[in-house]
Structure formats: structure tokens, C-alpha cells
Amino acid sequence: MLKRIYVDNFKCLVNFEWQPGSSYINLMLGPNGSGKSTVFDCVESIRAFATGEAKIDALFPSSTLTMWQKVSKQRFEIEWDRGGSVYRYELEVEHSEKRTSNWVSHERLYFEGKPLLEFKNGEAILYGENFSQPTGTYPIDTSFSAVSLVPDSGLYSLLTWFKVALQRTIVLQIVPPMMDESSIKVTARPLRYFQNFASWYRYVSQDQGVAFRLHQELKDVIPGFSHFKFDRVGEEATVLKAVFDQKGRSQATVNFSSFSDGQRMLVALYALLHSLGAVPEGLDTSQDLPSGLLCLDEPDNFIASREIQPWLIAVQEELRETRARLLMISHHPESIDYALIPSTGEDFSSFWFSREENLHTRVQPIVPDQDGGLKPSELATRGWLRP
């Protein structure tokens, strides 16, 4: 699980440090523009870089530098807990004086304070499992992550575990109107706004257990729903369709595009839950695998208030079973009240994000069950919710 993140000189994050709670769900509250989504941007950029999805210039362009500073370096640190042992990943990105180019000035990965990899001045030094002596030194282009280029092997199993943890991290801000019903190919990773939903669902539904559990859940939240199916419309293209039961009549089939935005959001949220326990293809299930991390930006948008609490209950149950964690940004009163009332929010840690005079982002834990006779959501609305 993500234990700590430190960011300096990335948008509104300046000398920013956050240690999420150990609860299954971390609720991120605060006014618009306070930096909550920026934290997710940073997590996603680090993940994509260290897993080799993109180079440094695409993920950390000059536009990500803090605008009111003249500093040319960006610094990032993340710590990841593995059964009480801790990984620490460090990345420093340097920009040219005119901010027209950038490169990795250093990248390091430690386990329990001992080096697994050090990358500086275009040269990577790898260490084996005993940490005592380097196993090799390699020249690497400073636009790439050295961590991403290390082959998965028994010699570097500790490093491989960390990469798998990043691969099992998903950052999403679901926009239902962008969720496409058509699919050309199977896709293992959802895009940031879930526009590739049909292709991703083709991938996860290959696990019949995931598909069955999702269909059973959706029968309770979407009236008449029976199951999903894919119809082929070309040599490779398919279209996602839903089958509905009709009392006294034959089943009806509709395209996914016929769903309302709220229905699409519900489908996306429950599908994500039931995919948390699925093991990515190619991973050895006999080994100790990292649990998933799901980062959701305002998932309670688009859905009705009465639908939020059942989903939160389902979230808690699934996270307990899979040991996955959820970081969740929300402004919705139902989510705030559920998280901050001890009788229901036992699996929640809550944090308040703020900006100092619209400059730096700061974060503080929220004290639950505050006095005053008002619901936590009402306290938040009035600005009385106390960190």
C-alpha cells in the first residue's frame, strides 16, 4: 500500500508531504482547486514513468513546474509498504534554463533503506538481493526510467515486486459520456477518463468469476438488468450490449450507449470493484503479490444519493477481501457523512486539503465525530470541519 508521497515543484505541490492512513479507504476532502486531483496526477505520472509507459518529457513537461517559482528541479518520493517493510522510490527531474527540455537527474529505489537501483548522469547501478555489491552498471538514456528497464528475474525479485505494485495502481476520473461502447482490441489498463471502458471490460470479463459477480451486483442496482455481451461488428471490432429481462416478454438487448450517465457510472464503479482481486496476466500467483491501489476522483458524481451508500458498503467488503486500498476524492454529502460517522466509517481515514493563499497545497487529517450537532457534510459546507 502507498505509505507516503513527497512532491516538490509539481503544479501546486511545493514541499508537499502526505502519509495516507492505513484504513482501507482514504477520503480526500477540501475545496475545489486545493490540490487533491493534482496528487492523483502526480501518482499517475510516477506510475507511468517507472513502468515504462512514457518518457520523462511527456509526463513532466515544463507546464507541470510550479508557476510562481523559478526552480528548475522537480523532486518526488513515494514509499510503499510491503508487510511492514518499506520501499522508497526517489525521482528528480531537471529542466533546462529556458524550460524547453528536461531529463532525469537521478532515480533511486531502496528497500528497507538499502539500495536496489541508483541512476545518475546516464548510468544505472543495480544491486542484487544481498545489497552488498552492485551486480551491474549500465548506460541509460536520461529520458527513460531505469527501474522500468530492469528485466523481471529472480535476481531482481524485490525490484520486480515494486513494479508490479505500480502496475496494480489505477488512477481514474470517470466521465460517463466518454465511455465508449465499441472495442477493437482487449486492453488491460483503463485510461484516465475510462473512455476505453469496453476494451477494458473485454479484458477483465475473461475471468468468468469477475463477470458473474458483476452481473449479480448490477441486477440489484439496475432494474431488469440480466447480463452484458459483446456483438461482433467487423473482423476485430465488437460492441458492448446489455440484456434486460422483461416481465412476460422476451429479453431486450440494448447498446451500452443507451445507458444513462448515471447507469454508466454505476457499471464502471462495480466493475472496478470486482476486478480488484483479479491477478494480472503473466504473474506468478504462488508468489507474494502486491494488493491493488485504486484512486478515484469524485466517483459519486452522476449517481443518485440513494445509490452511493450501497456502493460504499460494497467497496468496504471488497477491499477487506482483496486487501486493496482506495484513495477517493469527494464533495458529496452522502460520502462525507458515511466516512466521518464512526458507526459506518470504520474503514475510512479522512484528510482535508487546502491552499495557502491560493499557493501551496497542505493536507491535515480530519477529526471524525466532531461536536456541534451538525452532520459532517454540513460542517464542511460551512467551513467548520476541523482538521
Say how many C-beta atoms besides its own lie within 10 A of residue 319's C-beta: 22
Q: How far is CA 68 from CA 10, 17, 96, 359, in A?
A: 11, 19, 17, 8
Helix, coil or strand: residue 63: helix
Question: What are 14's strand-pairing partners?
Answer: none
DSSP three-state, residue 252: strand
Helix axes 197-204, 261-275, angle to 10 degrees: 30
| SS3 assignment, position 242 | strand
Cα 58 to Cα 49: distance, rounded to the nearest angstrom: 9
| β-pairing verdict for 293-297 and 169-172 | parallel
Domain segments of the chain as ranges: 173-261
Report the chain's C-alpha Rg in angstroms: 22
The predicted structure's pLDDT at residue 154:
67
CA atoms of 266 and 307, how far apart (whole Å):
9
pLDDT at site 382: 80
- Under 8 Å CB-to-CB from 61, ≥6 apart: which residues? 102
Name the strand (E) or helix (H) holding 327.
strand 325-329
Query: Which residues are 87's β-sheet partners?
Result: 80, 111
Tens place of pLDDT per residue across the chain (387 aa): 899 999 999 999 999 999 999 999 999 999 999 999 999 999 999 999 999 999 999 999 999 999 999 999 999 999 999 999 999 999 999 999 988 999 999 999 999 999 999 999 899 999 877 777 777 888 999 999 999 998 877 668 899 999 999 999 999 999 999 999 999 999 999 999 999 999 999 999 998 888 999 999 999 999 999 999 999 998 889 999 999 998 878 889 999 999 999 999 999 999 999 888 766 665 555 467 899 999 999 999 999 999 999 999 999 999 999 999 999 999 999 999 999 887 777 889 999 999 977 789 999 999 877 666 788 888 888 877 877
Q: Are 183 and 254 in contact (CB under 8 A)?
A: no
**Dihedral sign of CA atoms 298, 46, 63, 72 in order:** positive
Residue 108: strand pairing partners: 90, 118
Contact (Cβ atoms closer than 8 angstroms) between residue 93 and residue 105: yes
- Could you please report the per-residue DSSP string of 5-47? EEEESBTTBSSEEE---SSSEEEEE--TTSSHHHHHHHHHHHH
Q: Is the pTM of this model over 0.85?
A: yes
